[in-house]
Structure 1
Amino acid sequence: MSADDNSLLQLVREDLRGFGGYASARTHDLRGEVWLNANESPWANPADAGGGSRRYPDPQPPALRDALARLYACDPSRLLIGRGSDEAIDLLVRVLCVPGRDAVVVTPPVFGMYAVSARLQGAPLLEVPLVEGESGFGVDLEAVARAAEQGAAKLVFLCSPSNPTGASVPLDGIAALARRLHGRALVVVDEAYGEFSDQPSATTLMATHPNVAVLRTLSKAHALAAARIGVLIAHPALVRVLRACQAPYPVPAPCAELAAAALSEEALARTAARVDQVRSERVRLQRALATLAGVVRVHPSDGNYLLVRFADADAAFARLLAAGVVVRDQRAAPQLPDALRITIGTPEQNDRVLAALDAKEAAA
């Protein structure tokens, strides 16, 4: 076992370090013509034209795994495919954190599933609030490091670009944090919106920082939210442990087939063009919103959304709803009592947002 393997396995719960998990009918690579090992139906469902759904799927579909490895420029042994990023977040907390002892560090306001998973596991939650400045919200990485060290944290979640605030966490800061917490905690960088950012992926840090893991998803830029395909990219030793603790058949076959098709060369080219359009529209919408009466601030964003603060957020929310536009109300989130998060839509949808919020048009 290498030193990196050992340092990561020391972060895993003691009772799970040798855990083999459930051996499903698809665990072993067997070959045959008549499959009678999984108590599946010998006939297809009448609604299943292809007949493939009567069989349990491969736990980690090879074609999809290879396509994702190419997409994220990593070795397939570093990939864990699951039901969206949510499953990976939950697995990480359950596998690394002993209830009541090992803590989780988060940076609110931020994606809520980190805290939900910590609470369900009984892991202490350590909150290090984002700091608002002239350039928007940022992570106080020194405070994050102190909280992790003093609070016996096993996991640090960094959302980059951060949801809902929009800022990316600098790679050099992530590297310094991982170096400081080596052997003590796993630094998990959630890059759900990474395609919309100019910053390189934190996967580029893994060769020298084995305690860095990265979350990616096909839900956002790749427009496959309903397929629920999420990926954890991490050291192979950690991936093996997580796989043993994962549900037997996490990826439905129809979803895997759709996702693999969406990662073809032609599909990826169209996705890249749409990402470029979103980035262009993000600039246009940000500038236009900033000119409207009642808009206090539009935070800069590296994601496919804008965090907008209003003099009267309740009225703005109501006007958008009256125009048939649904946005995310952030007013219950820490530090955001006046904020709404607006996803970047098509040019026509963005024009509709602007028209609904334009006081001059509303008065006409």
Structure 2
Amino acid sequence: MNGVSNTARILLRDDLRDFAGYRSARSEALQGSVWLNANESPSASPGDADGRLRRYPDPQPPALRDALAALYGLAPAQVLATRGSDEGIDLLLRAFCVPGRGAIVIAPPVFGMYAVCARLHGARVVEVPARDAGDGWRCDLAAMADAALRQHANLVFVCNPGNPTGEAIADADIALLAERLRGRALVVVDAAYAEFAGHDASAALLAAHENIVVLRTLSKAHALAGARIGCVLAASELVGMLQRCQAPYPLAQPAVQAALAALAPDAVARTRTSVARVRGERERLLGELQSAPGVRRAYPSQGNFLLLRFDDAQAAFDALLAAGVVVRDMRATPGLADALRISIGTPEQNQRVLASLAVARQAA
């Protein structure tokens, strides 16, 4: 089922059904030794020793697409390389939500870009809040499906693992959600932190459910946040729909080269080792913080971060900052007025976190 998405055919904006997008000079399959079709400079920039940067990049570099497809166990036609996963979110809104009339469903607290992109596009944001169950957060996927059907939402975003909650959602539950919404909505699984969960079902979910779309990124586990390389994984037909909505040259050549280096077999092996270290540190830090004075609750996490509630979040934030440790202040997020999110660092950095919080408690 890797080629056709009947749900995408149904939901694609009517005004985009015959839309071909912009065909750039690099879109043409032409051969030659003198390239004068893109109004590029005939001479190189002083900082461009081999002259490659004076040329526009390939819109979808085949080598990168092949490498991403191999990493995620899919066919290259099922992969759309993007400027981080943020661009994938934006493209989905453009293709499947009519401006001013579309709607999406989210489960806050969750990654803010779903709502930002929707609002910039004029789409309604339907919220089905996740529930704090004490020992972790729970998204109500059945209620999200109800809301999507009731509000005629074309996109349902499921962050798995959740950010900032750290929640991991079972594949079987996502499959049930997709089945219920088949022909009615696309289920967008944001798997930015999947490597840290130790289980990646992207390929299996896509093979069995034509209305599932998966977002991936090289920013987290592969340590390329500055390169801004992500991808959309979906049926090849849906990938084609999104590509027609994409900017002509979305990926900078230096970023593509960095991504290819990070996706070489030896680099991927090192990434797996690094991820295992982060997971080990995450569990060690969680164990320390769950019994730390002043920490009201430390939630289990399947990401590379921990979400914490404090008796005095301001004092904790100030103590960390005084020690040079910058964490994410979550207190402006509804339902998280006492919370901070702390990324997992090196063992030495994590020890500084623990020491800083101990100082905050002693000063209280």
TM range (shorter): over 0.9
2:166·2:305 contact (CA, 8 Å) conserved in 1? yes
Q: Secondary structure at the match of 1:41?
A: coil
Describe the superposition over 1:62-115 as per-residue Cα deviations: whole angstroms up to 9, x where unpaired.
111111111011010000101000101001001100123221001100000000
1:230 aligned partner: 230
How far apart in 1 are the matches of 2:313 and 2:40?
54
Amino acid in structure 2 at the alignment position of 1:260? L
2:258 aligned partner: 258
Q: How many angstroms does 1:3 deviate by? A: 10
How far apart in 2 are the matches of 1:279 and 1:67?
25
How far apart in 1 are the matches of 2:319 and 2:134?
28
Q: How many angstroms does 1:278 deviate by? A: 0.2
Q: How many angstroms does 1:268 deviate by? A: 0.9
Instruction: Say whether 1:13 aligns with 2:13.
Output: yes
How far apart in 2 are the matches of 1:308 and 1:132?
12
2:294·2:361 contact (CA, 8 Å) conserved in 1? no
Structure 1 residues 361 and 4: alpha-carbon distance in aligned structure 2, compared to 1, 3 A threshold: closer
1:297 aligned partner: 297
Structure 1 residues 46 and 94: alpha-carbon distance in aligned structure 2, compared to 1, 3 A threshold: same
Question: Gapped runs of 5+ residues in structure 2?
Answer: none
TM-score, with length taken from structure 2: 0.97
How far apart in 2 are the matches of 1:83 and 1:360?
39
- Map residues 26-175 of structure 1 onto 2, 5 A cutoff: 26-175=26-175
Structure 1 residues 160 and 5: alpha-carbon distance in aligned structure 2, compared to 1, 3 A threshold: closer
How far apart in 2 are the matches of 1:210 and 1:291?
45
Give aligned-pair identity as a percent.
59
Structure 1 residues 315 and 360: alpha-carbon distance in aligned structure 2, compared to 1, 3 A threshold: closer
Q: Secondary structure at the match of 1:358?
A: helix
1:82·1:229 contact (CA, 8 Å) conserved in 2? yes
Between Structure 1 and Structure 2, how many residues are aligned?
362
Describe the superposition over 1:230-289 as per-residue Cα deviations: whole angstroms up to 9, x where unpaired.
100011111101101100000111110110011111111111111000000001100111
How far apart in 2 are the matches of 1:3 and 1:257?
28
Q: Secondary structure at the match of 1:163?
A: coil
**Structure 1 segments of 4+ aligned residues over 3 angstroms from their partners:** 2-7, 359-363
1:307·1:341 contact (CA, 8 Å) conserved in 2? yes
Q: Secondary structure at the match of 2:126?
A: strand
Higher mean Cα deviation, 93-102 or 336-345?
A: 93-102
2:188 aligned partner: 188
Q: How many angstroms does 1:118 deviate by? A: 0.4
Q: How many angstroms does 1:4 deviate by? A: 4.3
Q: How many angstroms does 1:354 deviate by? A: 0.3
Q: CA RMSD in A?
A: 1.4
How far apart in 2 are the matches of 1:225 and 1:274?
15
Amino acid in structure 1 at the alignment position of 2:176? A
Structure 1 residues 360 and 318: alpha-carbon distance in aligned structure 2, compared to 1, 3 A threshold: closer
How far apart in 2 are the matches of 1:356 and 1:83?
36
- Map residues 169-318 of structure 1 onto 2, 5 A cutoff: 169-318=169-318
